[in-house]
Amino acid sequence: MSKIDLLQINDPKGELPDSFYKYSIKKEIKYPTLSKNYKSQICIIGAGFTGLSAGLCLAESGFEVIILEANRVGFGASGRNGGQVGSGQRWDQEKIEKHFGFKKAKIFWEISQDAKKEVISRMKLHNIDCDFSPGIINATINRKDTNNLFDEVNNLKKKYQYTKIQKLSSSELSTIIDTELYYGGCLDFGAGHMNPLKFVQGLGTAAKKNNVQIFEKCCVEKIDYGKKNTISISNGYTVVSDYLIIACNGYLGNLEPNISSRVMPINNFILTTEVLGNNLLNSFLNNNYAVADNKFVPNYFRPSPDNRLIFGGGENYTYRFPKDIKTFVRKKMLKVYPQLENTRIDFAWGGTLAVTRNRLPYFAKIQPNVFSASGYSGHGVALSVLAGKIIAELIEGDSKRFNFMNNIPIKPFPGNSNFQWPLLVLGMLWYSLRDRFK
């Protein structure tokens, strides 16, 4: 395993973090731990959106599937994120067109549209009640960024026939968000937000109903690749499988060096205020929309069904979370909403996501029978769900979408594993400093 184990360093071992989402679920759904050696056609490491979605799709097609989760289903980013089911990729379409040409840009766009559809259709198919609500506002922090965003909106309407989006002038925006921070924005009705822990638990329940064997508190320590892969768990048992899917994202450590050289963990933080009452919350954020701004380290926020503000913002580039996450995120929240100075903060937590050098996801064929998708770079709620499906399609014999994503050039971070993290830290600090001078 990695020298510093992100699976344990910031959270109580084998438990979900103490987040608002944990508080909001009626009942924690628990799974057993593996207590014998096991053989399966498919073994998946990691029970987040990527792993559960892949497992569910493959089980629906008749494969035997086992999922091994080091902690709990939804322990990773999937059970603790901002819940924003965004459109597109991390790059805007104009940038993708410049880089890859229009034909490929169209495929990137279709994939991102399919990703949102997959999330919604899973909710409907399995009756997952996860408080989904449509509408994300992308808010910009200066005139230049607003003009660029408006160009992107025009482009999406004209070339991609995407009509579920509208521009918001500064005065229109201020009728929805009562802050001086933003200059303009757009409202995307085709995107939305949800409680991610409820959704990931729903995926787990659906997978179980489809005979996926899910085991918690099973940390994979070693993989021996072969025609049959041997996966060794910390409690001494092994799983032998024909296919292996590595779905560990930011929590991978050094389990698979090919992936960890290209996919780097970073930490991001969220708080939830006390219950504010409908009128008070509406006075500074109305219509139940979620908001994400375009800072290099974005602020993202939304109302909860019980009228709290869920506010995410701030990253850190050390392995450990800050000691006082409430204070850390509150500072960012007060820059957007100084009127919340006297508001109590009820919950604050952190999570680890994964970024690639160019911020596009890394779909990898590690061996002929070993696949992975990760590094969604903060835009993975919808994409990771589809990524699981795309890996399942590959195993079922349809390689088209996997090959497309696998052809995105994702370079390793410079330096060996000792130097990658410090270099990333320097790079990220530089960009986050630029935010201050925008």
Do 411 and 422 touch, CB atoms closer than 8 A? no
Residues 164-193 that bind ligand FAD (CB under 6 A): none
Q: Which amino acid is at 186?
A: C
Provide the minimum distance between the beta carbon of 103 and ligand FAD in the complex, in angstroms, as a whole number.
25
54 interacts with ligand FAD by CB under 6 A: no
Q: Which stretch binds ligand FAD (CB under 6 A): 28-36, 161-169, 201-209, 247-255?
A: 247-255
Residues in the interface with ligand FAD (CB under 6 A) total 45
The one among 312, 337, 364, 413 contacting ligand FAD by CB under 6 A: 312
Distance of alpha carbon 316 from alpha carbon 339, whole angstroms: 26
From 183, 215, 376, 421, residue interacting with ligand FAD (rule: CB under 6 A): 376
Min separation Cβ 186 and ligand FAD, Å: 17
Can residue 384 be called a binding residue for ligand FAD (CB under 6 A)? Answer: yes
* Structural contact between residues 91 and 363, judged by C-beta atoms closer than 8 angstroms: no
Closest distance to ligand FAD from the beta carbon of 189 (Å): 17
Query: Is residue 247 a contact residue for ligand FAD (CB under 6 A)?
Result: yes
The reply on whether position 303 binds ligand FAD by CB under 6 A is no
Q: Which stretch binds ligand FAD (CB under 6 A): 96-104, 135-143, 168-176, 373-381?
A: 373-381
| One of 185, 204, 250, 265 touching ligand FAD (CB under 6 A) | 250
How many Cα atoms sit within 13 Å of 24 on the Cβ side? Answer: 25
- The footprint of ligand FAD on residues 59-98 (CB under 6 A) is 68-71, 75-78, 80-84, 86
List, in sequence order, every residue forming a beta bridge with 241; answer none if it has no partner.
40, 229
Q: Considering Cα of 63, then 47, then 109, then 174, what sign does the dihedral take? A: positive
**Contact call for residue 141 and ligand FAD (CB under 6 A):** no
Tokens linked to 228: 């049959």
CA-wise closest residue to 294 among 412, 200, 378: 378
Binding flag, residue 252, ligand FAD (CB under 6 A): yes
Q: Which residue is nearest to ligand FAD (CB)?
A: 380
**C-beta of 284: minimal distance to ligand FAD in Å?**
20
Q: If we measure between CA atoms, which residue out of 235, 255, 239 comes closest to residue 247?
A: 255
CB of 344 to ligand FAD, least distance (A): 21
Q: CA–CA separation, 57 vs 55, rounded Å? A: 6
- Three state DSSP letters for 69-131: CCCCCCCCHHHCCCCEECCCCCCCHHHHHHHHCHHHHHHHHHHHHHHHHHHHHHHHHCCCCCC
CA distance 112 to 227: 33
**Whole-number minimum distance, CB 206 to ligand FAD, in Å?**
15
From the list 105-113, 125-133, 276-284, 374-382, the region that binds ligand FAD by CB under 6 A is 374-382
Minimum distance, C-beta of residue 234 to ligand FAD, in the bound complex (Å): 8
Q: Is 124 exposed, middle or buried (0-12, 13-18, 19+ CB in 10 A)?
A: exposed
- Which amino acid appears at position 242 of this protein? D
Structure tokens at 270: 């969220």
List the one residue from 130, 270, 355, 386 that touches ligand FAD (CB under 6 A): 270
Structure tokens at 283: 């006075």
User: What is the contact mask toward ligand FAD in residues 194 to 233, using x (rule: CB under 6 A)?
Assistant: -------------------------xx-------------
Site for ligand FAD contains 48 (CB under 6 A): yes
- Tell me the three state secondary structure of residue 31: coil
Number of Cβ atoms within 10 Å of the Cβ of 292: 24
CA torsion sign, 65 to 59 to 27 to 270? positive
Residue 294 lies near ligand FAD (rule: CB under 6 A): no
- Cβ 91 to ligand FAD, closest distance in Å? 14
List residues near ligand FAD by CB under 6 A: 7, 45-51, 68-71, 75-78, 80-84, 86, 219-220, 247-252, 255, 268, 270, 300, 312, 351-353, 374, 376, 378-381, 384
